[in-house]
Amino acid sequence: MARLFGTDGVRGVANTELTPELAFNLGRAGAYVLARHLTPGQPVNILVGKDTRLSGDLLESALIAGILSVGANAYSVGVLPTPAVAWLTHSQQMTAGVMISASHNPAPDNGIKFFAHDGYKLPDELEDEIEAFLQQPERLPRPAGDGVGRLYSVTAWPDLYIDYLCSLVQTPLSGLKVVVDCANGAVFDVAKKLFSRLRMQAELINANPDGLNINVACGSTQPQGLAARVQAAGADMGLAFDGDADRLIAVDHQGQVVNGDAIMAICALALQRAGRLANNTLVATVMSNMGLEQAMLNAGISLLRAPVGDRYVLAKMQEVGANLGGEQSGHIIFLDYATTGDGLLSALQLLQVVAASGQPLAQLASVVKPFPQVLHNVPVANRSIVDHPQVQQAISEAQELLRGRGRLVVRPSGTEPLIRVMAEAETEVLATQAVQMVARAIQESK
């Protein structure tokens, strides 16, 4: 049987793949497994948050029912960004936290992701233990009477997260004018309150979720509308989040996208100047552009690469003692302040650099001069097709084509039925040629 937990929790189309029955059983198994690692008699308190998807209520109800059915307590925080759930889990001394979200995926999808008591994602061993109990549900207890868990509504807790973010801002931001794309997702209410507290000139767009418009032609994966609005409003910059707000993509005053690579470079250089870049190291992934690598080399900063996925970035950061890392897609981890990628935190760090420097974002971002990069997502029914001999042969030929002039990355998506084929090269023509060789082989092998 394939492993249920992927790189970012349990994902699937809500109500057909990620069913309420599965959510119920995940609540039961998750709460029971986590309780087994506590001192006997210690209460099990699990925080539950969600994004704005229509299916969130369905899955939340089932998940909470499962949690309560094994005697654990559930604390419902309502719609809130994923990183806020992680932070509150730790700060409010919860046994664990659960986020119901499929991040940047379309509205029909959803997901369930667990956080441990310290705000970090569950280790693989605990996820495997939960999966084992999913296969043997009869082993799980069914207490009665006062043994059943209680449900608490803690909708005031998001203000604690806003307070925390505000406490990290040391540079006045009131002089900046920004446009904020909330992706009709989990950040819409928190962002409004946060930027108001900071007395910023902030115009929020795509901040009217209806359960179905999350990530639709907006947010960090589609910032074109934000770019147009930034220029029309004469704003200093734009900030785009994804559905659960663990990603940030920026837009400069000229409407040019500033991706995660450039944001990491800007923040790494600022931390280095302040003497606060731990071990003078930045951790990125295999998808980050060689232009970032060159910029860091020029600054004397070590760039280390991890596999794609913020859990792998975090593992590498902890291994080498780094405090900054992330992905080109906008997942950025400031480990001094958070245990996971946090779009709002990243935005505040970037805004402070811009405000303190007096330079426009476009100028700061110009430190990264990207190599031409071509990315093609090939839909597949089975992601293991990447191991097919014909595909492996094409990969070898493409790597030989790029030898000394670029690089190739071929990887199955951790969240979607896709094979991602990416090439960087001295020219876009060369990168495109390499990508097409591999994509064609994948399509012919299906």
Evaluate if pTM is beyond 0.75: yes
Contact by Cβ (8 Å): 370, 289 = yes
Start-end of H helices in 198-342: 224-233, 260-273, 290-299, 310-320
Instruction: Report d(CA 179, CA 282) in Å as an integer.
Output: 28
What does the pLDDT average to over 167-191?
97
Chain centre to alpha carbon of residue 144? 39
Report the relative pairing of strands 332-334 and 324-326 from DSSP bridges.
antiparallel
**Least-confidence region, from 55-64, 229-238, 420-429:** 420-429
Query: Which of 57, 35, 61, 62 lies closest to 46, judged by CA?
Result: 35
Residue 1 pLDDT greater than 60, yes or no: no
Active-site residue identified among 69, 103, 220, 329: 103
Start-end of H helices in 325-427: 343-357, 361-365, 389-402
**pLDDT tens track for 366-379:** 999 999 989 999 99
Widest pairwise Cα distance in the chain: 69
CATH architecture observed for domain 10-157:
3-Layer(aba) Sandwich (3.40)
Instruction: Report d(CA 203, CA 195) in Å as an integer.
Output: 9
**pLDDT tens track for 297-351:** 999 999 999 998 888 999 999 999 999 999 999 999 999 999 999 999 999 999 9
Chain centre to alpha carbon of residue 127? 19
What does the pLDDT average to over 399-426?
89
pLDDT at residue 445 in the model:
86
Residue 3 pLDDT greater than 80, yes or no: no
pLDDT at residue 309 in the model:
87
pLDDT at residue 2 in the model:
64
- What's the mean per-residue pLDDT of the chain? 95
Within the chain, all domains assigned CATH 3.40.120.10 are found at: 10-157, 170-365
pLDDT at residue 413 in the model:
84
Question: Which amino acid is present at 281?
Answer: T
Q: pLDDT-based confidence at 180, cuts 50/70/90? A: very high
HEC per residue, 242-256: CCCCCEEEEEECCCC
Instruction: Report d(CA 287, CA 186) in Å as an integer.
Output: 26
H or E element in which residue 303 lies: strand 302-306
Chain centre to alpha carbon of residue 37? 27
> Is 103 one of the annotated active-site residues of the chain?
yes
Does CATH number 3.40.50.150 belong to domain 373-445?
A: no
Integer-rounded Cα radius of gyration of the chain: 22
pLDDT at residue 179 in the model:
98
Q: Count CB-CB contacts under 10 A for residue 19.
A: 16
Query: Which of 253, 251, 271, 277 lies closest to 262, judged by CA?
Result: 251
**pLDDT tens track for 17-42:** 999 999 999 999 999 999 888 777 78
pLDDT at residue 8 in the model:
79
Both tokens of 165, joined, read 């973010």
Pick the CATH number of 170-365 from 3.40.120.10, 3.40.50.300, 3.40.470.10, 3.40.50.10320: 3.40.120.10
**Least-confidence region, from 184-188, 202-206, 306-310:** 306-310
Within the chain, all domains assigned CATH 3.30.310.50 are found at: 373-445
pLDDT at residue 28 in the model:
97
pLDDT at residue 153 in the model:
97
Instruction: Report d(CA 327, CA 309) in Å as an integer.
Output: 8
